[in-house]
Amino acid sequence: MNVQWKAFLAVLVLVVLCHSETTETVWLPCSPLTNAIKDTYSRKLIQDYDSINRAIIEKQIGLSQGDLSHKETDSKIQKIIKDYVSRNHIKGRRLQNGLSVANVPSSLTTVCTTRKISYYNGTDIPYINHFSKQYKSDQSKLRLGAIFLLQGGPGLGGEALEVMGIKLWNDMGGQYDIVIPDHRGTARSTMVTCTETEPEKFPTCQKSALNNLDGFTTDQAAMDTLSLMDNFKNTFGGEILLFGVSYGTFLSERIIKISQVRYPGLISAVALDGICGDKFCSFKTSDEVAEKTAMSFFDACAKDSTCGAKLGGQKEEILKKLTQLYATQNMCTNLFGGVRNVMRSFLVSALQDNTMRLLIPPLIYRGLRCNLIDFFSINYMIRNVVSAQASENAGHVGYPTSLPININIGVSELQGRFTKDAEAKDYASSCVMCSGAASLYSTVVGAGWIPYNQSDYQNKVLATDLPLLLMNGDLDPQTGIDNAESYHQLIKDTCPNTKFVRFPNAVHFVVGRSPLAKDISVNCGATILADFFKSKSVANLNTDCTNNLQGVDFGGNAYTYNNVAVDMYEGLGINKTQYTIFVVVVTLICGLAALICLCCVASCCFLCRRNSRKQAPTMVELETHLITQEGSSTKYTKFK
């Protein structure tokens, strides 16, 4: 063999090593649910405060409230974070998506693997870890293929999709493997973290982490997933189906584009939930999306008989009251530390959830009135709704967001109209219902975070014949309905086998958050998804369940929404069971009080009659008295 051939083979070996797994993929038994998703929602709130929003809040408070020292500001924020951590989680409640730990099928086998994958060409870091969890198909049935579930973020691991994965495994009759990877740089894969809390200092994390994070891109994450898919196809056979939610839809689109070049024919069908499509997904316009969704929510509130009566018949009246609440200092607003941006951030988080958004109108109403009952009711409702949402995903705790991955991909690929730091700050300071995320990313870029080069696949219209299902809630404050519909209009001609499904009143992630009005344990989105994956066609897909979704109950009785309260606007903020106990106790107390009063009245009557008998004159005395009055000389001294 000559020198040229030896050199060629050496280069070929290096190329193979740089683009493939270094060891055989070994799947080992593991828990079906990561310990413990029941804290996921609370942890998400904590993550929001402790990473992105905390930095924004701290920065904005420092700018807008000169009377607060940095130490005082930090203390307020930390207290709020601690309050969220200390919530008592409700146990044993039926979940909205109809699944709990006890519902994990006995026939379900769960295995996990951590592969060694190449980090990035041209670096001195050869490999990083890439974790995946698999719910294996039922061995007693015919295996048809594998379904891959991709989480959003960017920067989130896949553990939050585990409950959905088990539900989908059931819905597909156990005939598919369900595979949930952690994107590179997140969760149980080699996780990239940052200890900085000031946005201006975030770029130091980029410079100190794995060659400026050049290997943590959407393209690299797509290649990781495609190599795993290809491994499944070659090892087990069957078809490969793909589901992505939120940023996972952006990643899924990239996977389709790359697969057309490198893995043609690998994927059979794709479903996207919460559309973050190329050209229409931006962190820098996320505040505008949230604000617009909030306006639609307040418009619905104004048109509702109960909500409109409490807050006004026009959304402008509600916005005026909300602005007034932000400026109010009382014992109710002090539950949020008395800080406008903390309260606003909480309300934006509430808008993202079917249950928590019900708190927004009564919080405005009670917060402005703020009597002692309102104070205890607001405290109760916040504590128990957060707790109820924690239990909705009972089973495991989510890993924290990888902030460097979030920022690195966000500022490099998810750009918007803001071009100046000042513009983002101005919008963040004036918006009524936004988190201020745009300000964070603008600040980070201005401080020196270097975006990576744009992908060759970015900003190119998707063109595929694959069956493609698009789903989005029309009250989704994270990936707004307008952007989703615009994306559909963009690709409908180049993707002829596409169907867009709009979910009335639904929030983000309709597969897990689109309960039916008559049975909240059934999610319309999950039903449509399973039907689509079974048929792998959008031609005759039944979407009738979208006409029977649970609406937004502004009526004040939130018992059906996780048993939160009897009346959200008036009286005590207690649930129906507690209300029943309260009524029984009050009735008993009132009955006892009435009995005591009756006894007292009876005793008084008895004593009065007894005294009156002692003092009353006899008939003889009366006759004598009458005779005396007529002038008779007969007298009885006893009558004196």
Residue 122 or residue 49, greater confidence? 122
- Report yes or no on 319 lying in a domain: no
Q: Are residues 492 and 621 in the same domain?
A: no
Domain identity same for 412 and 500: yes
pLDDT at 139: 93
Report how many domains make up the chain: 2
Q: What is the CATH number of the domain that holds 472?
A: 3.40.50.1820
The mean pLDDT of 448-470, rounded to a whole number, is 93
* Residue 130 · residue 114 · CB < 8 Å: yes
Give the range with max mean pLDDT: 66-75, 96-105, 218-227, 373-382: 218-227
Same domain, 446 and 522: yes
Q: Domain ends where: 491, 524, 543?
A: 543
With a pLDDT cut of 90, the percent of the chain lying above it is 40
530 with 624, same domain: the answer is no
Tell me whether residue 177 is in a domain: yes
Do residues 257 and 124 both lie within one domain?
yes
Which secondary structure element, helix H or strand E, spans residue 70, and what is its range? Answer: helix 70-85
Other CB atoms closer than 10 Å to residue 326's CB: what's the count?
18
| DSSP-assigned letters across all residues of 74-119 | HHHHHHHHHHHHT-----SPPPTTS--GGGS-TT-EEEEEEEEEE-
**In the predicted structure, residue 76 carries a pLDDT above the cut 70:** no
For residue 93, the model assigns a pLDDT of: 28
Instruction: Name which of 73-82, 113-122, 286-295 the model is least confident about.
Output: 73-82
Cα angle 326, 328, 332; round to 5: 95
Percentage of the chain lying above the pLDDT 70 cut: 70
Together in a domain, 420 and 512:
yes
Q: Say if residues 283 and 439 touch (Cβ distance below 8 Å).
A: no
Burial degree of 234 (CB within 10 A; 0-12, 13-18, 19+):
exposed
217-246 average pLDDT score: 96
Higher-confidence residue of 99 and 261: namely 261
pLDDT of 364 strictly over 50:
yes
In this prediction, residues 230-249 reach a mean pLDDT of: 96
pLDDT at 530: 98
- How many CB atoms are located within 10 Å of the residue 25 CB? 16
Q: Do 494 and 601 fall within a single domain?
A: no
- Lowest pLDDT segment from 176-185, 373-382, 423-432, 531-540: 423-432
| 103 and 179 part of one domain | yes
Least confident of 51-55, 102-106, 246-250: 51-55
Structural domain harbouring 145? 97-281+401-543
Q: What is the mean pLDDT of residues 98-102?
A: 41
> Is 232 contained in some domain?
yes
Same domain as 580, residue 495: no
If asked whether residues 266 and 408 sit together in one domain, one would say yes
Answer whether residue 205 shows pLDDT above 70: yes
What pLDDT, on a 0 to 100 scale, did the predictor assign at position 23?
Answer: 46
* CB 217 within 8 Å of CB 411: no
Quote the pLDDT of residue 381: 74
pLDDT band at 65 (very low <50, low <70, confident <90, very high): very low
Report pLDDT for 547. 97
The H-or-E segment that residue 491 falls in is helix 481-491
Residue 572: the pLDDT is 65
pLDDT of residue 58: 41
* Structural domain contains residue 1: no
In this model, does residue 193 exceed pLDDT 90?
no
Most confident of 83-92, 320-329, 341-350: 320-329
Which of 525, 543, 561 terminates a domain? The answer is 543
* Residue 607 confidence (pLDDT): 77
Residue 166 inside a domain? The answer is: yes
In a domain, 35, yes or no: no
Whether 499 has a pLDDT exceeding 60, the answer reads yes
Among 543, 568, 598, identify where a domain stops.
543
If asked whether residues 588 and 534 sit together in one domain, one would say no
Mean pLDDT over the full length of the chain: 78
Higher per-residue pLDDT: 176 or 120: 176
Indicate whether 313 pLDDT > 70.
yes
Name residues whose C-beta falls within 8 Å of residue 66's C-beta, 6 or more positions apart in sequence.
none
The span from the CA of 129 to the CA of 94, in Å, is 36
Q: Please state the length of the chain.
A: 640
Give tens-digit pLDDT for 272-291: 999 999 888 888 788 889 99
CA distances in angstroms from 235 to 24, 26, 239, 303, 311, listed in the order given: 11, 12, 12, 57, 61
Note whether 124 and 192 are same-domain residues: yes
Decide if 296 contacts 475 (C-beta within 8 A). yes
On whether residue 197 sits in a domain, the answer given is yes
Confidence at residue 418, expressed as pLDDT on a 0 to 100 scale: 43
What pLDDT, on a 0 to 100 scale, did the predictor assign at position 376? 83
Residue with tokens 């026939």, as numbered in its chain: 107
* Residue 339 placed within a domain: no
Return the higher-pLDDT residue of 558 and 282: 282
